[in-house]
Structure 1
Amino acid sequence: MSRDTYEANMQFIEQTLKRLERNEVSIDELETLSREFAAARQFCLDRLARIESVVQATLGTDGEPAGERR
């Protein structure tokens, strides 16, 4: 299944966690579901890293704490 947005991937992650908590995942589905979960998680991590990079570049901080800018 293709999820192209951060929101879609987060929704998949949240729904999957709820299903796991309620024991609604069969052992036969677990292998496929864990691959999809890992891909969704990585998508979100990558997206957040890109956003952080853009925000830092826009603010000109380059990762420096706010009090250390000159």
Structure 2
Amino acid sequence: MRVGDKLVWTPSGFDHEVSGQRADRQRKLRSVTGRIVYIHPAGRYYLAEALVGGAVIRECFPMKNR
């Protein structure tokens, strides 16, 4: 894993997205495609960003192989 690598994920903010559908109806979560922009020097986490609807969103994830 390196800075600039492509990444596909479902942002945690999309879990509670209001879509105008009934609350009891199952909704499909949207995924976004972005890139890794930062990796913690000690390898604790990485930061990914993606362009969604004209805005940049960012989210941090723990490193899996520590």
Instruction: Between the two structures, name the one with larger relative contact order (CA 8 Å, sep ≥ 6).
Output: 1
Which has the larger share of strand?
2
**Is the structural similarity TM-score above 0.5?**
no
Which has the larger share of helix?
1
* TM-score normalised by the chain length of structure 1: 0.19
Bigger-Rg structure (1/2): 1
* TM-score normalised by the chain length of structure 2: 0.20
